[in-house]
Structure 1
């Protein structure tokens, strides 16, 4: 006797029009958001942003079948990108540190390419922000995410995200204020 499809679901091999399989949904998410994930990693200071983005999508792929809500996959990728970048930067700081010598910050390749004194000054000011404020600004203004998605990516509440962004803007304004 042939196998029967699950009760209440479409017959095997068929699905409602417009509904993607999990594999197709993963591939669509990857193709649509991989470059933005690379940009996120780059803006957070990763020296290997493509590797960080790939790592985030590999981790998502491993957990894809366990996701209760596939709509949360993008927030998962962003949060993983932030965590992997933070972890790698922490590791690099530790490796580069030698006894008795202060930590030296090496500018990224993107910084050397960026033209103009204003852009360089802005990036320097952003680097001076506390890590949470810097991440929130990058997510909100460089990736143009709504505040709710910033909160989801950082794993904080909406009100905390709003407060963090407000503090980051105030601090940034003070850092960029002309001394003249």
Structure 2
């Protein structure tokens, strides 16, 4: 395990960090400023590319994903290379990042499979979906054209699924008023929707 100084950026990248106190007794000050050079990282990556690919292949099941994981590991280690205190640990750091990224890829796949395994409701065709959207838009426009009280009664009664008594209590009006506003609102909607049909 490479000895590195964690930062929020590298933590978000999913790279491993040792426990505090690991690597005590080394000259961390000088090594910290040096870190792993780009040349050293690139040479290590090129020399061990096939072994890193093999490691990913043991965890994943398709070549394309393995290549993506190994390349992503290089990018992440490259961005955090100055945090690697011991350049000799670069390969270990690359390997651990490959493992972490492979785990993340597997978690995403498992989640995707769980979602796909759920039965999907009957899907409407694109034409039906477009027609439904037009109807909803027309209804919303018609609702906006109602008197305020009529609109409030209809929204609470039919969209919030309240009883007439609950609507009366919510709006602070009588039950008779709820019925009157509701019937007038529906009549006005029928006229408006009929005119736009």
TM norm structure 2: 0.38
Query: Which protein shows a greater Rg?
Result: 2
- Higher share in helix: 2
Choose between structure 1 and 2 for higher RCO, CA contacts under 8 A separated by at least 6 residues. 2
